[in-house]
Amino acid sequence: MANVKLRNVTKRFGSVVAVNNVSLDIPHGKVTAVLGPSGCGKTTLLLMLAGIYKPTEGEILFDQLQVNGIPPQLRNVGLVFQSYALYPHMTAFDNIAFPLRLQKTPKEEIKRRVEEMAEIVQIGDLLQRRPGQLSGGQQQRVALCRALVKNPDLLLLDEPLSNLDARLRIETRAEIKRIQQELGITTILVTHDQVEAVTMADQVAVLKAGVLQQYGTPAELWHRPANLFVASFIGDPPMNLLRAQLVFQDGRSFFQCGTSLRLPVPFDLAQELQQKGRQELVVGIRPEHLSLSRERSKLGFRGKVFLVELLGRDKLVDFRFGSQALRVLVPATLPVERGEVFWIEPQPGQLHLFDPATQQRLELEESRLKAWSGHAPA
């Protein structure tokens, strides 16, 4: 299979539109993540690719062949469910061999392929155990092995790590990535976990209420989020999003965020925004792109610490400016106490601007955004 294409795919259940006019080109041999909150349509999209659901409108193409009416058993697709869906009365060997037996594969061939795949996913010594005798991570590998043993053209993973604890989730996502790269199989991962998506996938499709918000590499989604939803969904801790008013005063320009926060803006950029009628905006900046200092900063602004959260190697420092909250990520070794006053300084070129009405990213001259520095607050 060269690749998978979705062309204007829509799925309705009565009056409910679960997937709305989605188009994607999914490259061969790569991992593509479909990311979004619960109820956004990502599993519905996966089940249409598997053939369990048929699109209401649009086309699904496997290597230029339209597969809308082709049943699941003829699509050569491997599917790993969130619940693993293992047969409890069967051994791991029999669970893995089950799809091959349905295809009436010879016994010797079944044995060879099951043992070969079990070695790849490193469960060769567990084949005679039943699911109840296996840990969650081991069951997950059996389910993955069962999906891979029939050499599918497409591997579909539906929230495969959600039942694992945090430590095992990290180990298992690395293992799945290793297996995928070793086999070179086209893989589509459905998840609500943005960390899982950006660490495992080559491409990420972000869905909201069945509508595709952005499709690109993890770096593209991180550095140039297309809208407020993507900006808030990609990143942990999430991006600070501040409603702002463009103000000119005494020959200077700044964003007034709430009643007591002013962000300095280069004058030429402020003029460009004014010419485009952009008096009201949403300013976005990630917590890791802000720094703290006890010394006066020409490029920063003052704030009083409202709350400090220890996150292991980092601290999340919460400032409040009227109704606006601003969070800064700093090393855990930095001494910070509630009520202390710091100068907060944005890193140059790391601010994002959005239209509050359309919620879309504002496309401005990159050189001006990157040069967003050297301006003291008004």
Coil, helix or strand for 245?
A: strand
Average pLDDT over every residue of 132-142: 88
Does residue 44 carry a pLDDT above 80?
yes
Q: Which amino acid is at 358?
A: T
Per the listing, tokens 């790391």 go with 350
Lookup: tokens for 360 = 């879309």
pLDDT value at 242 more than 90: yes
* Angstrom distance (rounded) from CA 135 to CA 14: 40
Q: 4-233: what fold?
A: Rossmann fold (3.40.50)
The stretch 68-95 carries a mean pLDDT of 90
Q: Which residue has the higher pLDDT, 206 or 122?
A: 206
Lowest mean per-residue pLDDT among 111-120, 156-165, 205-214, 299-308 = 156-165
166 pLDDT exceeds 80? no
Question: Residue 369 — very low, low, confident or very high, per pLDDT cuts 50/70/90?
Answer: low
Give the position of tokens 């479909």. 34
Strand 314-321 and strand 324-331: pairing?
antiparallel
Mean pLDDT throughout 144-157?
89
Amino acid (1-letter code) at residue 94: D
Rg of the chain (C-alpha set): 25
Residue (of 52, 79, 84) closest to 161 by Cα position: 84
Range of lowest pLDDT (70-74, 92-96, 244-248, 261-265): 261-265
- Provide the pLDDT for residue 128: 95
Residues 72-102 as b/e (b if ≥16 CB within 10 A, e otherwise) read eeebebbbbebebebeeeebbbbbbbbbbee
Residue 302 pLDDT > 80: yes
Per-residue confidence (pLDDT) for residue 173, from 0 to 100 = 82
Res. 375: pLDDT tops 70: no
370: CB partners within 8 A, 6+ apart: 348, 349
CATH number of the domain at 240-370, please?
2.40.50.140
Q: Lowest-pLDDT range, 8-12, 160-164, 219-223?
A: 160-164
Q: pLDDT tens, 326-341?
A: 999 999 999 999 999 9
Judge whether residue 277 has pLDDT over 80: yes
* Domain chopping of the chain, boundaries: 4-233, 240-370
Residue 297: both structure tokens together: 């900063």
> Is cis: bond before 266, omega within 30 of 0?
no
Residue 365's pLDDT band (cuts 50, 70, 90): low
Give the Cα-Cα-Cα angle 55, 177, 184 (nearest 5 degrees).
70
Under DSSP, the state recorded for 227 is B
Note whether 27 and 1 are within 8 A (CB).
no
Query: For tokens 């829509």, what's the residue?
Result: 10
- Closest C-alpha among 179, 173, 187 to residue 145: 179
Give the strands of the sheet with 4-13, arranged side by side: 16-26, 4-13, 57-62, 65-66
Whether the model pTM is above 0.85: yes
| Mean residue pLDDT across the chain | 89
CA–CA–CA angle 340, 325, 359 (5° rounding):
155
3-class DSSP assignment, residue 12? strand
- Residue % of the chain over a pLDDT of 90: 60
pLDDT at 107 over 50: yes
Is the pLDDT at 313 greater than 80? The verdict is yes
Residue whose structure tokens are 């799925």? 11
Q: How many CB atoms lie within 10 A of CB 145?
A: 27
Judged against a pLDDT cut of 50, whether residue 87 lies above it is answered with yes
Whether 371 shows a pLDDT value over 50: the answer reads no
